[in-house]
Structure 1
Amino acid sequence: MKHLFALCLLALTFTARAQGVMQFTTDNHDFGNVPEGTMATYEFKFKNTGTQPVVIANVQASCGCTTPDWTKTPVLPGKMGVIKAMYSSAGRPGVFNKTVTVTSNASEPSKVLTIKGTVLTKEQIKPTLTPAQLAQSPKLVLDKAEFDFGKMEAGQQPTARFTVKNSGKTPLVLGALTAGCYCVGYKTPPAPIAPGQSAVVELLYSQRQLGQVSDAVTISSNDVSGDAKLTLKATIVRDLVGGSMVKESGTAVPFK
């Protein structure tokens, strides 16, 4: 009986040890100062020091502003895996402290990882960052500063196309559009623009005020040198077809 008890205890001990173990190099990361508009990204790396594969079932962020990603395939004993945490700083100035919770079949089934930092506005960045850090900033360059739609009908939503080039050394992320008329928006959300690359950005214009209009638009981004400015112009009429008919009816027709 004693031998049977000892064998059962040994089997239980072996089973308990026959698990994957997630050994992280660190379970927290401080980004320090983050320019507003940046997607702050950090990879938490771990090694499976156990005897069985580690399978990550889920990674849950503490808020919608943090997007997790992770190694989807089983991590074999002795191999490395990654948990990636991405914090969107756009429109979120100030201190942040967020967590991602990793659920797996490892010996520690629930593991909490932490990211933190301080998001700085453009006004705060200029005196804070070093010249070397400023040199690494993306740089937004517009192909033109003005777009004239000409004559358009009230209620239409024409599209203005601008070419945006990133002449900086890190990816350019375009942010919110602001205009006093609240009548300008992106046709499609712009994707990050790689250093040295250009992209066409389409802006929808839904101005309804009749007559000649001119609206100043600001495009925010993670370019620390400042926001981009452009102007949209148009002559807005109530009815383009009606306007044409009135013009034609005023033309003198000679008698035969």
Structure 2
Amino acid sequence: MIRRSTTLLLFAVLFVSGVYAQKTAKISFLETTHNFGSFSEKLGSVSCVFSFVNTGDAPLIITRATASCGCTRPEFPMQPVAPGDSGQIKVTYNAVGRPGSFEKNISVYANTDPERTTLIIKGSVIPVQRSVAPAYGYTMGTLGLKAVHVPFFEVYTNKTKVEKIDIINNGKTPLTLEFDKVPRHLDVSVLPETLSPGEKGRILITYHADRAKDWGIRRDEFWVKLPSSDKPQPQNKITVSADIQEDYSGMTPDQIAKAPHLEIGNDLVDFGTIKGNTAVSKSVSLTNTGVSNLQIRKVNNESQVVSVSLPQMSIQSGKSIDMKIMVRPSKSRSRLLNHRIFIITNDPARPTISLPVVATFE
């Protein structure tokens, strides 16, 4: 009985000794708050360094450091810090567009007790004096324009849409404009037709989506022809962009119930890692689960690396086809492919479907 008690006591002593003998890391900062004071926004980003020492008896491992704002970026040592050794955490604050006082927290996580240590940066950003942009920031000869790109955003095949560009005659003589190489689905005019010196007006652009015979994102351009030149100058160009869609807002519930519906076999086409320059292809099934015939209006693919082919542009109810997607690594200038294919159909529920295509090249 005495031998058993002695054995238990010895085991308990060894257990407690083992617990207290366990080694731990400890992070000790020379300071946990840094004040940048007042500084000009012109500096852009400012940085400071928080120095620390591992005052524990086990290697210190910092697992992560996070900031309370995306404007603050902490950097920490990735290697373990031995007992007695020192290290640094660099914190950078981006002051651009953030005038006024600030105070940000940085949480440092490590194999310490407690796990988290909080650092603080603060200061005051003096704003820069920004120049006011001219109202008519673009010029074509004596013509001043507020824009040279006109985004129409969504346009529908059953409606016309009008946008404008504000203009001014900065010259000393009357100005009459002409336009060249205007696409057939655009009407362009000037109001007033002749601008007196210093007079303001506008270029009116009318978009006829039904004339374009196209679907989805489309970009066009035309040229402004000034009286001083006998032919359009390359720099006097106006660009127009639009997303051409079919208008389904007037469909009745019965028409929607009888409409086509596209189902895609993959939400993501992942080619994984492609080694070498040999082209690789995958097939994606397109199924019409609706009632009426599905018309594929267009497959929008603006990539030289990716190509898409279809056996046909219509799918009957209950039928499927395979869309072939091919990736050509030799055409890529990057190791990573992150592309999207847009499939445009007459499915009123989802007339445009975005299909991501990703790959890594080695």
Q: TM-score, normalised by structure 1?
A: 0.51
Query: Which has a greater percent of strand?
Result: 2
Deviation digits for residues 215-241 of structure 1 (CA, Å, limit 9, x no counterpart): xxxxxxxxxxxxxxxxxxxxx974377
Runs of 4+ in 1 over 2 A off after TM superposition: 176-184, 205-214, 236-244
Identity of aligned residues (%): 29
Shift of 1:212: 6.3
Kindly indicate whether the alpha-carbon contact (under 8 Å) linking 2:49 and 2:91 is maintained by their aligned counterparts in 1. Answer: yes
Equivalent residue in structure 2 for 1:11, among 18, 31, 51: 18
Cα 1:211–1:71 change in 2 (3 A) is: same
Q: 1:247 aligns with which of 230, 235, 256?
A: 230
Which of 15, 31, 36 is the aligned partner of 1:31?
36
Q: Relative to 1, partners in 2 of residues 1:177 and 1:116: Cα closer, same or farther, differing over 3 Å?
A: same
1:71 positional shift: 0.9
1:237 and 1:87 map into 2 onto residues whose CA distance is 51
Q: What do the CA deviations read for 1:171-222 (whole angstroms, capped 9, x no partner)?
A: xxxxx886244969xxxxxxxxxxxxxxxxxxxx9536567679xxxxxxxx
Given candidates 78, 87, 92, the residue that maps to 1:81 is 87
- Aligned counterparts of 1:181 and 1:28: Cα–Cα separation in 2: 45
Q: 2:148 aligns with which of 200, 207, 210?
A: 207
Q: Is the 8 A contact 2:42 2:128 kept in 1?
A: no
Q: CA deviation at 1:110?
A: 0.5
Asked if 2 retains the 8 angstrom alpha-carbon contact of 1:58 and 1:102, the reply is: yes
Contact conserved, 1:41 with 1:84, CA < 8 A, in 2?
A: yes
Q: Which runs of 5+ in 2 are unaligned?
A: 1-7, 139-145, 150-164, 172-176, 181-221, 232-362
Q: Give 1 or 2 for the bigger CA radius of gyration.
A: 2
Q: For the residues of structure 2 that align with 1:98 and 1:183, how far apart are their CA atoms?
A: 38
Task: Measure the CA separation in 2 of the matches of 1:36 and 1:107.
Answer: 39
Report the CA distance between 1:79 and its aligned residue: 1.6
Matched, 1:57 2:63: yes
Unaligned segments of structure 1, at least 5 residues: 124-175, 185-204, 215-235, 249-256
> SS of the residue aligned with 2:12?
helix
Change in Cα spacing, 1:242 to 1:36, as seen in structure 2 (3 Å) is closer
In 1, Cα distance between equivalents of 2:178 and 2:19? 83
**In the alignment, is the contact (CA less than 8 A) between 1:98 and 1:115 conserved in 2?**
yes
Distance 1:241 1:107, change over 3 A: closer
Shift of 1:66: 0.9
The root-mean-square deviation of aligned C-alpha atoms, in Å, is 3.2
Query: Comparing both chains, which one has the higher relative contact order based on Cα–Cα distances under 8 Å and sequence gaps of 6 or more?
Result: 1
